[in-house]
Structure 1
Amino acid sequence: MRSGERILMLQRRFPSANMALVTGPRPILVDTGFGSDLPETERLLAQLGVPPAKLHLIANTHFHVDHAGGNHGLQQAYGVPVAASAPDAALVNGRHPNACDAAFLDHPVQHYRVDRVLRDGDELDTGEVVLRVLATPGHTASHLSFYAPAERVLVLGDVFHRDDVAWLNLCTDGPDPVEQMLATLDRLARLPVAWACSGHGPRIDDVPAALDAARRRYEKWREQPQKIGWHACKRLFGSALMLEGGMDAERVRAYLLNAPWFVESSRRIFERQPEEFADQLVAEMLRARAARWQDGRLVPLTPYTPVPAGWVRPDMRPRFWPRDAL
């Protein structure tokens, strides 16, 4: 966060994603972090002089739990409306079992509703800042970014980061994500941008350099799809380890062999049986220093905020969401 700016980046630790507070008489919060991090979200907003009750709108880049997990708490406690892409809205409001990709990713997410549908070219006005909605598919097919032309600020979500790129889903989106992402980068490269807020990591002050680095990596992936799979599997398994605070060897195996993202990746991307590939993924996590064994548990090495014990409940799946909450 930097004083004097109308768009403030709130950098968050995993399992949350970064947020952007767009100030003005009708302030907008882009993305809301993970659900259990809601108390920190409330404190951060209050410290910036915009307590949650003053928010005019939540705008989601996409509906993954690290970006939309706080929607429930802010909507239920303060009545803040949520805006999202049309495909995301249809799945969320239709209570589809895989809304938020929750079934495929095995992620807990509390129920919410989408009150406003966003489409490419729409504008959101806080009274001080105008945000232009951009369709930026790649990480998900319905991913959105937000651009403030007057401020020359780009809120990227998970398009690319300062030191990394987004994981891509070859299992449910087929081979198109790479081509979609490259087209998205071409579109964003034409915008004059002073700085960008991505979904993870520090703010991006040299946007052209980060964008070019991302393009080079995505282009390599186009010819080597297994690299896409490795990147995604390490990110998703790392996230699972964070949500559980680490796993013992028995739990590691049980989790992986029952996680749809892992089973599908094993068979479709790596052409291996999940039982065989489980050991290879653990070995790769250790080699890449993404995790280590500690006191008999495989623990993630990326800094994160622990999820409170007992916070995750079985009903935190879209198939159990109440329909009367719409």
Structure 2
Amino acid sequence: MKKSSIIFFERKFPSANMILIKDQLPILIDTGFGSDVHETEDLIKDVGVTPEELHLIVNTHYHSDHVGGNFHLQKNYGVKIAAHKWDADLINSSDPETCSAEWLDQPVEPYRVDTKLSDNDEIYTGSRTLKVLHTPGHTLGHISLYEPEEEILICGDLFHKNDIGWINIFREGVSSVQRSLESLDHLSLLKIGHAYSGHGPQIDNPLAAIDAARERFEKWLKTPEKVAWHACKRIFSFTLIIKNGLAKEEIDNYLLKCSWFQDFARHSFQFQPEEFIQILLDEMIRSGAATWHNNQLIATTPYKAPQKKWMNMNIKPKEWKIQDFVK
């Protein structure tokens, strides 16, 4: 029998990383942002797996950069999708809170979850078994996957090589930092040789990365304003990526219509939203998260600009229709 392999794809924004378990029952973990779906197809084809051969898509969580390819792969090839049961219930009922897409103002094309996952479930790939670990914090339905034979952890956005996942207290709860710490404690008991996260490179010293993440989360417990700044900069940077920048004259009106901006301004920083605009812009520039270029505010992190049709795409779960799921 041909040996199976675990193939890691490190991707530029707006897509999250992907992992392909190439085996008798190929499994794709996360599918990138919707604008990159043809690149997603090409990446797996280049390593010898066609979309039709995919046995299952598993989502670590439901943010748009991780689930954006689901629609295309499910609708066109009939690929089944698995996700944590809490995510699945929101997704399958087209709940307006699904994917936090409305709150974040991020487009997500419709999909359905076929397999609802719980902590300690197992996913069989033919010659491997992946263990499902419920690791909430970044989202309530966040999962990690553990492959014990090679001691490989797939950890989504819980932690990265040099960063941690941003925390959304308004949609995932005010105890999200504590949940993240509990999730890290859970993972630290495993034997982990390598870890793959949703962003950035492979993690060759996972336990050191877990310790660094834990230290940062513990500091956040004492300085909640840092939680809010980290989230604001990540969310706004992603907006600048999927819109390939915002013109200076567009920014005020855009931010004032965003729920995430309203919530952070009023509740995390105690400013009126109109007052918080310049404060956020100053911090984006000061921190190096964004820069001005020809009167456009541009994200500084490396990214691949979406096609023009995606820059003003406005597909949200509240508008999903049952016919969208029919092949």
TM-score (norm 1): 0.97
Residues 262-304 of structure 1: CA distance to partner in whole angstroms, max 9, x if unpaired?
1101111111111111111100010011111100110111010
Q: Report the AA paired with residue 240 of structure 1.
A: T
Distance (Å, rounded) in 2 between the aligned partners of 1:30 and 1:244: 26
Q: Report the AA paired with residue 202 of structure 2.
A: R
Q: Report the AA paired with residue 239 of structure 2.
A: A
Q: How far is the alpha carbon of 1:253 from its aligned partner? A: 1.1
Distance (Å, rounded) in 1 between the aligned partners of 2:202 and 2:54: 23
Q: How far is the alpha carbon of 1:5 from its aligned partner? A: 7.1
- Alpha carbons of structure 1 residues 100 and 210: separation in structure 2 relative to 1, 3 Å: same
CA contact (8 A) 1:26 1:55 kept: yes
- 1:165 equivalent in structure 2: 164
- 1:181 equivalent in structure 2: 180
- 2:276 equivalent in structure 1: 277
- 1:137 equivalent in structure 2: 136
Q: Report the AA paired with residue 123 of structure 2.
A: L
CA contact (8 A) 1:6 1:129 kept: no
Q: Report the AA paired with residue 182 of structure 1.
A: L
The runs of at least 4 aligned residues of structure 1 exceeding 4 Å deviation read 312-315
CA contact (8 A) 1:23 1:129 kept: no
SS at match of 2:310: coil
Q: How far is the alpha carbon of 1:175 from its aligned partner? A: 2.1
Q: Report the AA paired with residue 136 of structure 1.
A: T
Q: Report the AA paired with residue 17 of structure 1.
A: A
- 1:70 equivalent in structure 2: 69
CA contact (8 A) 2:244 2:306 kept: yes
* 2:37 paired with 1:38: yes
Q: How far is the alpha carbon of 1:173 from its aligned partner? A: 3.0
User: Which residues of 2 match residues 147-166 of structure 1 at below 5 A?
Assistant: 147-166=146-165
User: Which residues of 2 match residues 81-92 of structure 1 at below 5 A?
Assistant: 81-92=80-91
Distance (Å, rounded) in 1 between the aligned partners of 2:257 and 2:234: 17
- 1:15 equivalent in structure 2: 14
SS at match of 1:310: helix
- 1:206 equivalent in structure 2: 205
Task: Tell me how many residue pairs correspond in the alignment.
Answer: 323
Distance (Å, rounded) in 2 between the aligned partners of 1:34 and 1:314: 12
CA contact (8 A) 1:159 1:166 kept: yes
Residues 102-140 of structure 1: CA distance to partner in whole angstroms, max 9, x if unpaired?
111111010111111011111001112210000000000
Residues 174-197 of structure 1: CA distance to partner in whole angstroms, max 9, x if unpaired?
320010000001000000001000
Distance (Å, rounded) in 1 between the aligned partners of 2:178 and 2:294: 43
Distance (Å, rounded) in 1 between the aligned partners of 2:69 and 2:324: 16
Q: How far is the alpha carbon of 1:17 from its aligned partner? A: 0.3
Q: Quick one: percent identity of the two aligned structures?
A: 47
CA contact (8 A) 1:171 1:269 kept: no
Q: How far is the alpha carbon of 1:66 from its aligned partner? A: 0.3
